Amino acid sequence: MTISEDIEGSSRASSLSFEISGAIEYSTPDARLGRLSIAGRNDIDTPNFFSISSRGVVPHLTPDVIGEHTQPGGVHVALEDFIERATIGTPPIMNVPGNAPLHTFTCLPTSFITLLAPRRTPAVIAPIGNTNTAISIFTSTGFQSLSNKAYVNYAEKLHPDIIIGLADVPHGTVPGVKRIDKMGDRTEGWLTELLASEHTKSAVFAPILPIEYHSQFEYLNNLDEFADKIRGLAFYDSNLLPDIPATTAVAQLPRLSLDEPSSPHEILRQISLGMDIFTIPFIGFATDAGIALDFQFPSPSTSSEVVSTGNGSTTKSLGVDMWSTEHSTSLDPLSVSCECYACTIHHRSFIQHLLSAKEMLGWALLQIHNHYVLSKFFSFIRESIGQGTFEADCETFARYYETELPEKSGQGPRVRGYQFKTEGPGERKKNQPGWRGDLEVA
């Protein structure tokens, strides 16, 4: 984890390559295996996932812990987390020395791939819409507009391994007919400008908009013309995947999901459509809610774990609520047979104590575990696809597990992030005031 090795030649094209194993059947969308390689980074076997960062850090985890105890393929970084000072001057990240400023600034392990997107995932809804030249973003000091020109400029300087083109996505609102007409045009125009930049050595992923296929028909068809320049597709809506032109070079591009899957079942569904790489907000939601994810694909390997499902009417929970005092003296790991750092060194009793005492380490350990569970999940999925049993295994998984993650019962960590934007004056405070006698803790 030293300073990122320089990628030689500042104007050289990205070294990203993606190989799909086996014969590709273009005509039918299907789960597929691939390998994403970028010079100087670890190769990633797909399907796989990228961690979601906040201000360049995976919440709760210091960079050494990420490097030693988690195995995501890369990290999703939002530009809006770094440019609050853009309205008054140059954002500090633009002054970072060296050839890989994003890596250098965020202290990420060099083996990790950085993926730069304009906005966080999920993104805070902006009150003002996008324009022909810019989108609305939400920084730590409020809303700003980010022009495509500025975005290209950031890309040229920051050199993320992968950059997602600016997209005209109306986060949170349903666009009207007139607006829909513009979305494809704007996005295509912005992508064209990004691809024309001679100083970008990042791999450009073209955004696929969360609107009907026919509404972005022209844009999607034109992607074919860019196919030699774009290095991947980023889906704001995974349902568009079957509509992507299937006969061409476009089909061989890696596909990234920004579709915010709400459960592992949803991940499996997207994989069955041919999705390769995921960003998964529910990992962080579960961690903050004090939930230890607890699922394996297609079902637990150890027989002792198999709960008696009897006639099949009961299904197993996808997670364990660690706030529950039933764990307070348990020396069991978060999930049986889990080999993550949290489960090998610690036990439920400690994690329950940490949550109850509101000690930050509780969320750090859960975050380590939850990332590990997902890494394992994807590794078994790859195995399953390789063996040709993926479809049947998905059915097993669906029968075995509940459809949604458990509800949260306890409090999350102290909410201090600006990203938790209040939705209106009537909204309840995120942090409930503590009990009068809550003690000041060192």
Q: Per CB under 8 A, does 192 bind other proteins?
A: no
Binding region: 338, 340, 343, 369
Question: What is the closest distance, in whole angstroms, from the C-beta atom of residue 432 to other proteins in the complex?
Answer: 17
**Residue of 197, 263, 356, 396 interacting with other proteins (CB under 8 A):** 356
Q: Per CB under 8 A, does 141 bind other proteins?
A: no
Q: Per CB under 5 A, does 365 bind Zn ion?
A: no
- Given the complex with other proteins, which of 9 and 437 has the nearer CB atom? 437
Q: Per CB under 8 A, does 269 bind other proteins?
A: no
- CB-neighbour burial class of residue 146 (10 A; exposed 0-12, middle 13-18, buried 19+): buried
- Given the complex with other proteins, which of 226 and 341 has the nearer CB atom? 341
**Residue of 11, 87, 95, 314 interacting with other proteins (CB under 8 A):** 95
- Given the complex with other proteins, which of 255 and 371 has the nearer CB atom? 371
Q: Per CB under 8 A, does 78 bind other proteins?
A: no
Q: For 267, what's the count of Cα atoms within 13 Å in the CB-facing half-sphere?
A: 27
Q: Per CB under 8 A, does 72 bind other proteins?
A: no
Q: For 343, what's the count of Cα atoms within 13 Å in the CB-facing half-sphere?
A: 20
- Given the complex with other proteins, which of 16 and 108 has the nearer CB atom? 108
Diameter of the chain measured on Cα atoms: 67
Q: Say if CB 47 and CB 277 are below 8 A apart.
A: yes
Q: Say if CB 175 and CB 121 are below 8 A apart.
A: no
Q: Per CB under 8 A, does 63 bind other proteins?
A: yes
> What token pair was written down for 438?
């809550």
Three-state SS at 249: helix
Among other proteins, Zn ion, none, the one that 338 touches (CB under a kind-dependent 5 to 8 A) is Zn ion
Distance CA 70, CA 162 (A): 20
Among Zn ion, other proteins, none, the one that 340 touches (CB under a kind-dependent 5 to 8 A) is Zn ion
Pick from 229, 191, 202, 366: nearest CA to 287 = 366
Question: What is the closest distance, in whole angstroms, from the C-beta atom of residue 369 to Zn ion in the complex?
Answer: 4
Distance CA 180, CA 174 (A): 9
Q: Per CB under 8 A, does 3 bind other proteins?
A: yes
Report, in this order, helix, strand and coil percent for the chain, each rounded to 5: 35, 15, 50
- Given the complex with other proteins, which of 213 and 341 has the nearer CB atom? 341
Among Zn ion, other proteins, none, the one that 343 touches (CB under a kind-dependent 5 to 8 A) is Zn ion
Contact pattern from residue 320 through residue 349 relative to Zn ion, giving x for each residue in contact according to CB under 5 A and a dash for the rest: --------------x---x-x-xx------
Which residue intervals of 43-176 are DSSP H helices?
A: 63-69, 101-106, 148-158
Q: Per CB under 8 A, does 367 bind other proteins?
A: no
Q: Per CB under 8 A, does 415 bind other proteins?
A: no
**Residue of 111, 329, 387, 422 interacting with other proteins (CB under 8 A):** 329
- CB-neighbour burial class of residue 135 (10 A; exposed 0-12, middle 13-18, buried 19+): buried
Q: Contact residues for Zn ion (CB under 5 A)?
A: 334, 338, 340, 342-343, 369
